[in-house]
Amino acid sequence: MKSKLAIIGIFFIAGLLFAAVFSYFTFEPEEAIEEPLAEQEVRLYFLNEKQYHLQEVSRVVPETEHLSGRIEQIVEELKVAPEEERLSTLLPEDLELRSVFFEADVIYIDFNEALIGAAEGSSGEMIFLYSIVNSLLANAPEDYKLVKFLVNGETVKTIGPYGEESGHISVEYPLGPRWKLVGSS
Amino acid sequence: MKKFTTGLILILFACMIFFPQAARSASLNLVDADGSLLGEIPTLRREGSLLLDLYNFFRALDFSVSWNEKTRRLEVEEEGTTFRFTPRSEHVLAGDNNLYLTGSPLVRSGKMYLAASTTAGLLNRHTKHSVIYNPDRQQMQLGVPREAEAADEDPIGRFLEDIPEVAGDEMLVVIDPGHGGRDPGAIGPGGLMEKEVILNMSLRLKKHIEDNYPRMKVILTREEDVFIPLQDRTRMANQNEADVFISIHANSGPSARATGFEIFTLSAEASDPSAQERADIENSVLRYEGYDSEELSDVAWILGQLRASVHTMESQAFSEMILSEMEAAITLSNRGMKQAPFFVLKDAMMPAVLFEAGFLSNPREEQRLQSDSYQKTVVEALGTALDKYMKQRFLK
């Protein structure tokens, strides 16, 4: 009888130990089992190297509370090249968005100095600038129609690397979207 | 005896009347703001223009002046900026910049002369000095505030008078070789620099036009490897009332696969997101021409708008002609015409396009761009397109 009780006791203790170890490895903090963050789909424009136009890519990202957060998110997403081989990112890794603000129908995006020289040539600058402009305006409320580039808080004439007037496209004024640069495949 | 005396008196009388006139044609009075004489500058008259002796003129203004025998240039320096004048050349080097004069200096008896009106324009635009040149009094007055010069004039009247007439049997083409000096533009994988290949192509185009199309006159914004600010390029075209402006470039892109020729015009929509911005752009052009935005009435503003929209249409028509000629002449792919707010085009007061002759970032096209036969074909196609445009627009 005693031995039976001892065996039951051993199984009982072993069961407790097993349960403790199992629960230790399978325990999840309370936060993680709360409701997952709401997600949203954003439309991003990347370079199609073969066709040399912009191509739309949809990506699901966590929802943000404010528009400025969504814009920061889009800029970061634009740095991540899509899996599709012929699509590539146009944004240099060291390009940092310093701040975002809004005035009337214009989204102001203030980058660090890596914006200067980030693209060259008429076509290169065009496809680079409008990949950002199109991506921001495609995901912002319709009230916003234009995007204004700043470098360290200042207006620059162009993004040319050899001085403000060595580039091609004027960024002195806000830019509207260029949907004609977008191809299907 | 009586007749002799009368004749002598008449001769003396005539001398009294004409002597001051004779004296005036020999020199220009340089005076300061209150009218006191700073110097009498020797002059020459050529084809109705008064030319002044640059050496003595700038000495009287306390500039440092010297003749550089090695470069054959007159060097005039003030506060760190050196202006270099070359005989018979409309280009003046000012530091890193290349300025364009409306006339070239002339050398006579070892002295360099330049039209007084051109010299006054150079001082007003590119130095701290403001001067008023009065050709009737043969006088240059210093230090008068620029507003006072135009205070009593009718700004709209001046604006209307300044619109170039679209007529005649000649067309003035301004060819703008992109980049230059400290700005090499795109650099190909083989090391070919855009500023060099494009200058070469532009010089060939100028010669091709001069040899084959006598009704076209050509101005190049640069003839050597110098940096010229983008706004100065269209300023040259505006000052000379050019009929068409063509900026020539070699393209570059993030992918080495990108290929083809392409043409760009200024987009009204992109550079014109709002009426206020358009007004700013138009007014900035007019400010350069000597008008204050406060002076501009709605009428002048609307005229500016109309002119801009006509130029947009003309630019597109000209672009189509270039694309069509290029497509017929070369096998490179036609990337078509696109619009964007190109900085070099935005101040042009005439039809203006930016032509990309191929991708330097593409190794095969880099080789093509520097080949003699490709350059020749591109130059001839551009010449044909310009000729067709001239015939369609001016010689109906």
Q: What's the rounded Cα separation, in Å, for the pair A28 and A25?
A: 9
Q: What's the rounded Cα separation, in Å, for the pair A116 and B54?
A: 41
pLDDT tens for B350-394 read 999 999 999 999 999 999 999 999 999 999 999 999 999 998 886
Q: How far apart are the first and last CA of chain B?
A: 70
Q: What's the rounded Cα separation, in Å, for the pair B336 and B40?
A: 59
**How is chain A split among helix, strand and coil, in percent rounded to 5?**
35, 25, 40
DSSP 8-class letter at A33: G
Q: What's the rounded Cα separation, in Å, for the pair B179 and B225?
A: 9
Q: What's the rounded Cα separation, in Å, for the pair A109 and A145?
A: 14
Q: What's the rounded Cα separation, in Å, for the pair A120 and B356?
A: 13
Q: Provide the Cα torsion A62, A67, A72, A75; round to 10°.
A: 90
Indicate the pLDDT class of residue A23, thresholds 50, 70 and 90.
low
**How much is the average pLDDT of A97-110?**
94
Q: Is the pLDDT score of B82 beyond 80? A: yes
Q: Is A155 on the interface with B (CB under 8 A)?
A: no
Q: Is the pLDDT score of B341 beyond 80? A: yes
Count Cα neighbours of B344 within 13 Å in the Cβ-side half-sphere. Answer: 29
Q: What is the pLDDT of residue A175?
A: 93
Q: Is B124 on the interface with A (CB under 8 A)?
A: no
Contact (CB, 8 A) for A41 and A57: no
Determine whether the interchain pair B252/A120 forms a contact, defined as Cβ–Cβ distance below 8 Å.
Answer: yes
Q: Which of B338, B343, B356, B366 would best serve as a mutation to test chain A binding (most A beta carbons within 10 A)?
A: B343
Helix (H, G, I), strand (E, B) or coil at A131: helix
Alpha carbon B232 to chain centroid distance?
A: 7
**How much is the average pLDDT of B156-165?**
39
Q: What's the rounded Cα separation, in Å, for the pair B50 and B117?
A: 8
Q: What is the pLDDT of residue B327?
A: 93
Q: How far is B229 from chain A (nearest CA, A)?
A: 6
Q: What is the pLDDT of residue B158?
A: 39
Q: What is the pLDDT of residue B149?
A: 41
Who wins on pLDDT, A39 or A57? Answer: A57
Q: What is the pLDDT of residue B170?
A: 83
Listed range (A11-20, B154-163, B223-232) with the worst mean pLDDT: B154-163
Q: What is the pLDDT of residue B72?
A: 78
Alpha carbon A6 to chain centroid distance?
A: 62
**How much is the average pLDDT of B319-333?**
93
Q: What is the pLDDT of residue B270?
A: 40
Determine whether the interchain pair B262/A175 forms a contact, defined as Cβ–Cβ distance below 8 Å.
Answer: no
Determine whether the interchain pair A124/B229 forms a contact, defined as Cβ–Cβ distance below 8 Å.
Answer: no
Q: What is the pLDDT of residue B95?
A: 76
Q: Is B273 on the interface with A (CB under 8 A)?
A: yes
In percent, the amount of chain B with pLDDT more than 90 equals: 38
∠B152-B157-B159 over CA atoms, to 5°? 110
Determine whether the interchain pair A168/B342 forms a contact, defined as Cβ–Cβ distance below 8 Å.
Answer: yes
**Nearby residues of B318 by Cβ (< 8 Å), 6 or more positions away:** B244, B351, B353, B385, B389
Q: What is the pLDDT of residue B310?
A: 79
What is the reported pTM? 0.64
Contact (CB, 8 A) for B106 and B88: yes
Q: How far is A88 from chain B (nearest CA, A)?
A: 9
Q: What is the pLDDT of residue A12?
A: 72
Q: Is the pLDDT score of B283 beyond 50? A: no
Helix (H, G, I), strand (E, B) or coil at B89: coil
- Residue B355's H or E segment, with its range, is strand B352-359
Q: What is the pLDDT of residue A52?
A: 87
Amino acid making up residue A56: E
Q: What's the rounded Cα separation, in Å, for the pair A5 and B307?
A: 105
- Residue B280's H or E segment, with its range, is helix B275-288
Q: What is the pLDDT of residue B304?
A: 63
Q: Is the pLDDT score of B294 beyond 70? A: no
What are the CA-CA distances from residue B198 to residues A94, B84, B178, B180, B379 (Å)? 32, 24, 7, 9, 11
Which residue carries 């740095």 as its tokens?
A79
Q: What's the rounded Cα separation, in Å, for the pair B186 and B360?
A: 7
Q: How far is A62 from chain B (nearest CA, A)?
A: 30
Q: At what angle do helices B194-212 and B372-394 cross, to 10 degrees?
A: 50
**How much is the average pLDDT of B126-145?**
76
Indicate the pLDDT class of residue A82, thresholds 50, 70 and 90.
very high
Find chain B residues with C-beta within 8 A of A51's C-beta. none
Q: How far is B277 from chain A (nearest CA, A)?
A: 8
Which residue carries 């968005």 as its tokens?
A97
Question: Which residue from B253, B271, B359 is facing A127, i.e. has the nearest CB?
Answer: B253
Indicate the pLDDT class of residue B128, thresholds 50, 70 and 90.
confident
What are the CA-CA distances from residue A30 to residues A23, B217, B276, B395 (Å)? 14, 81, 56, 83
pLDDT tens for B35-49 read 888 889 999 888 777
Who wins on pLDDT, B82 or A37? Answer: B82
Phi–psi pair at B330, nearest 5 degrees: -130, 160
Determine whether the interchain pair A123/B184 forms a contact, defined as Cβ–Cβ distance below 8 Å.
Answer: no
In percent, the amount of chain B with pLDDT more than 70 equals: 75
Q: What is the pLDDT of residue B186?
A: 94
Q: What's the rounded Cα separation, in Å, for the pair B204 and B324?
A: 21
Smallest Cα–Cα separation from B263: which of A8, A38, A126?
Answer: A126
Question: Which residue from A123, A160, A167 is facing B253, i.e. has the nearest CB?
Answer: A123
Question: Which residue from B183, B269, B356 is facing A122, i.e. has the nearest CB?
Answer: B356
What are the CA-CA distances from residue B320 to residues B26, B262, B353 (Å)? 54, 11, 11
Listed range (A102-111, B78-87, B99-108, B176-185) with the worst mean pLDDT: B99-108
What are the CA-CA distances from residue B321 to residues B213, B246, B327, B333, B391 (Å)? 17, 13, 10, 16, 12
Determine whether the interchain pair B277/A121 forms a contact, defined as Cβ–Cβ distance below 8 Å.
Answer: no
Find chain B residues with C-beta within 8 A of A146's C-beta. 273
Which range scores top for mean pLDDT: A26-35, A46-55, A70-79, B291-300? A70-79
- Average pLDDT of chain B is 79
pLDDT tens for B182-238 read 999 999 999 999 999 999 999 999 999 999 999 999 999 999 999 998 988 988 888
Q: What is the pLDDT of residue A45?
A: 97
Find chain A residues with C-beta within 8 A of B361's C-beta. 121, 124
**How much is the average pLDDT of A18-33?**
51
Listed range (A9-23, B63-77, B156-170, B374-388) with the worst mean pLDDT: B156-170
Q: What is the residue-wise DSSP string for B358-394?
A: EETTSHHHHHHHTSHHHHHHHHHHHHHHHHHHHHHHH
pLDDT tens for B12-62 read 455 444 444 343 457 899 988 888 888 899 998 887 778 899 999 999 988
Smallest Cα–Cα separation from A119: which of A167, A48, A155, A183?
Answer: A167
Determine whether the interchain pair A122/B249 forms a contact, defined as Cβ–Cβ distance below 8 Å.
Answer: yes
Alpha carbon A116 to chain centroid distance?
A: 20
DSSP 8-class letter at A35: P
Q: What is the pLDDT of residue A31?
A: 42
Smallest Cα–Cα separation from B378: which of B329, B316, B343?
Answer: B329
Who wins on pLDDT, B299 or B199? Answer: B199
